[in-house]
Amino acid sequence: MFGDRDVVEFLDKVSVEGVERMLGAPDESRCWYAEPPGRHWSKGDGRPMLGDEDPAVMQAIGRCAAARIRDTLPWPAVELGRVHGEPCGWCGMPLELLLAACEWATWWSQYLTSERLTWTGAAESLYIREVRRCEYQQPAWRDFFALPGAEREAAIAAVTASSREGVPA
């Protein structure tokens, strides 16, 4: 059934609700989330010292870390001078602490890379429909990335500036 290209093309044009009315509930629903590499932080380690639920803070920490390692990257780095052009409050901290916080934030943000529904048909043929992708499930992160770019940049700049308080230039 699902091996027939015409059937699959037809189902792809129907809403998920319509597919469920025709085929019943999916046999499987599966979500995939962005996973931290686990070199500096792993699930079960608890929140690292610099881990912060505020996505603007974590973006600023990530930019500081990226600025430090940009020369070691195997691909051309973005213009980090534009986003981390002067010292911040995290520059004096060990890189491992920043990277642990960034790995934790990858997990904390609950960034959904894909959600797929699967129906099993005749002869074990499968119909798979991706229903969601590339979205933050953690509300603060979802709201932050829904902001216009200029507002996100302003929030990151504000936390970066406040991180400099008491840091020698």
Q: Please name the residues in contact with 73: beta carbons below 8 A apart, sequence gap of 6 or more.
A: none
Q: Indicate whether 122 belongs to any domain.
A: yes
Query: Same structural domain for residues 70 and 146?
Result: yes
Residue 158 has phi, psi (to 5 degrees) of -65, -45
58 CB neighbour count, 10 Å cutoff: 25
How would residue 2 be classed by pLDDT, with cut points 50, 70 and 90?
A: confident
Over residues 88-139, the pLDDT tens digits come to: 999 999 999 999 999 999 999 999 999 999 999 988 899 999 999 999 999 9
DSSP 3-state of 39: coil
Domain of 82 in residue numbering reads as 35-108+138-163
Q: What average pLDDT is seen over the chain?
A: 90
Are 25 and 48 part of one and the same domain? no
Domains in the chain, number? 2
Residue 169 forms part of a structural domain: no
Same domain, 104 and 158: yes
Asked whether residue 79 falls in the same domain as residue 146, the answer is yes
CB 65 within 8 A of CB 88: no
Whether residues 8 and 83 fall in one domain: no
pLDDT confidence of residue 75: 61
**Strand extents, DSSP E, the chain:** 28-33, 111-120, 126-132, 135-136
Looking at residue 68, its pLDDT comes to: 85
Q: Are 143 and 79 in the same domain?
A: yes
**Nearest-angstrom CA–CA distance, 162 and 28:** 47
Give the whole-number percent of the chain exceeding pLDDT 70. Answer: 91
Residue 23 and residue 40 share a domain: no
Tens of pLDDT along 54-83?
A: 999 999 999 999 888 876 666 665 565 667
Same domain for 3 and 81: no
pTM: 0.81
In angstroms, the Cα distances linking 115 to 20, 57, 135 are 16, 28, 10
Q: In angstroms, what CA-CA distances link 89 with 12, 44, 100, 123? A: 50, 27, 16, 60
82 in the same domain as 61: yes
Same domain, 58 and 85: yes
In a domain, 154, yes or no: yes
Work out the pLDDT band at 20, boundaries 50, 70, 90.
very high
